[in-house]
Chains A and B, each alone.
Chain A
Amino acid sequence: EAGVAQSPRYKIIEKRQSVAFWCNPISGHATLYWYQQILGQGPKLLIQFQNNGVVDDSQLPKDRFSAERLKGVDSTLKIQPAKLEDSAVYLCASSFRGGRGTGELFFGEGSRLTVL
């Protein structure tokens, strides 16, 4: 079974530039999550999709971050314009979520962003 795919693995940009990250979840997983992880900290949820609807985006900085999940499968996370404090690893995860609770989460390898 293929895992969660993310690209690119690494990205270096100048502040005020834009960047986009892509995620392909495990086939059949209805729930998709984007997390931001700063070194030495636990992941911080940016946005959670259930199929192609947004369940939680309360911690997404909407003035610069946007995300979409077309047709309830792939997802793209965009940052425009980037700030220095956006330097982090962006993790995508998916879960089946057939009942109550989040269910077991499966993560991709992450996209490491460095903003100069």
Chain B
Amino acid sequence: KQEVTQIPAALSVPEGENLVLNCSFTDSAIYNLQWFRQDPGKGLTSLLLIQSSQREQTSGRLNASLDKSSGRSTLYIAASQPGDSATYLCAVDSNYQLIWGAGTKLIIKP
């Protein structure tokens, strides 16, 4: 059974720092992995989708990597800004089902 874990549950860093969020999964047989952002009281916004055949995807200051063999994905945020404060969730597409992590709550201090 696929399980997805995101550690840490919360992270607070000063503005301007580069940071990495982690997502691990137990079964390497995945079709894709998606990273989402959720602002308080809002729905989820898709940030990046990495197909299983890809190693990484980039969008602006965001870079997501995927290592299926080790069951890990990372979301790298460059030059963090207060507006990046949100909860970041990863979801693994496994057997036509999305299996979700609980998210990492990120706070960027001005």
Contacts and interface: CB of A to CB of B under 8 A. Distances in A.
A42 B43 contact: no
Interface stretch (A12-20, A64-72, A98-106): A98-106
A42 B89 contact: yes
B17 to A, nearest CB: 25
Contacts of B97: 45, 56, 102
Contacts of A110: 41-43
Interface of B: 4, 31-32, 34, 36, 41-46, 49, 51, 89, 91, 93, 96-98, 100-103
B34 A104 contact: yes
A91 interface: yes
A102 B102 contact: no
Bin the interface of chain A by size.
20 to 34
Contacts of A41: 102
B43 A102 contact: no
A91 B44 contact: yes
A104 B44 contact: no
Contacts of A105: 34, 36, 44, 46, 91, 98
The prevalent SS among residues of A at the interface is loop
Given A56-B97, A101-B31, A107 B43 contact: yes
20 contacts: A4-B43, A42-B89, A42-B91, A42-B102, A42-B103, A43-B89, A91-B44, A100-B31, A101-B32, A102-B31, A102-B32, A102-B98, A104-B34, A105-B36, A105-B44, A105-B46, A107-B36, A107-B43, A107-B45, A109-B42
Nearest 8 Cβ contacts at the A-B interface: A42-B100, A107-B43, A101-B31, A107-B44, A109-B43, A42-B102, A102-B93, A110-B43
- Interface-centre pick from A41, A100, A105, A108 (highest chain B CB count, 10 A): A105
Considering residues B36, B91, B100, which has the most beta carbons from chain A within 10 angstroms of its beta carbon? B100
Contacts of A55: 96
A57 B2 CA distance: 18
A2 B50 CA distance: 25
